[in-house]
Amino acid sequence: MPTVLVQAGGPFNVTIGLLPMGATFKKDTRIDLTLDAVAGGRPHGTFTPSAVTFPAGVTSASYAISYSAADNGLVLKASASRQKEIASGRTAAFDVVSTLLGLAKGNPQFPTGVGVGDSSCSRGTTEPECGIIVLPNDIQSSNAALTLGRCTADLGCTSGSQVIQFVADLGTRYSPTNPATLIVRCSKQLCRNTNNGIQAFTLKVSQDSIGPLDRVSQPCVAKGIADNGLNNGDTFCTDYVQSHRDQGDLLLYLLFREDMRGST
């Protein structure tokens, strides 16, 4: 599970602690919140608020923060800038997604598919790329999340696409012969027809919550079977038999058994 799932413009909690353990400020102290790093190019957003007040006499305090845009690999720095002798603190890197769809166990749409993005990723969508999750055996965890995020150069995805992520505990509900499915819808403008057909398009995936999409999903050995026949430990593959075009849009079927994050 990602340490944090953050949607652009939505609140998330940041806890600031003082070291050594037990240290406190003698008076209320301003802490500046700035962007220390961002992967994949220049940042597109800002943090709100840009500063918080750390109370005197406490060793830690939590704050509701938001970031205004979808970006990858953000690191937030907290600095007591008016007290130069105090070192700054930094978060671990995290992504901010553009769309975050929360899902609950027992969702009646799971067997037929739940989409993320406008028009629920149907034919009417204006998204350049989006996803539909199909879960005939439900989920093990009480909740799940389906997200859309920014494709940046460091991820290895196609420029102009989006990153689809599904997070849940599936337990042992899915197997190679009974997999879960993520249908990636790529617009006809982004995934244009080629002489090589549908198999000219590949899905780049990762089972990590952040960082590059450093695996290419290989073709499945047969329709509906989550096995690429390579005996390389992959629990996912692209089913090119089920994959097809829908009024020009390309629908690629990714079969999987664990959390998945991917893009074209």
User: What distance in Å separates the CA atoms of residue 69 and residue 50, rounded to the nearest whole number?
Assistant: 15
Q: What are phi and psi of 247, to 5 degrees?
A: 50, 40
Rounded to 5 degrees, what angle do the CA atoms 205, 208, 211 make?
80
Here the tokens at position 165 are: 């992520």
Residues of the chain with pLDDT under 70: 1-3
Residue tagged 């499915």 (tokens): 181
Name beta bridge partners: 238.
219, 254
Are residues 149 and 167 in contact, defined by beta-carbon separation less than 8 angstroms? no
| Torsion 238-244-247-248 (CA) sign | positive
First to last CA, the chain: 23
What is the residue type of 23? Answer: A
User: What distance in Å separates the CA atoms of residue 230 and residue 221, rounded to the nearest whole number?
Assistant: 9
Q: What are phi and psi of 261, to 5 degrees?
A: -140, 125
What pLDDT does residue 3 have?
57
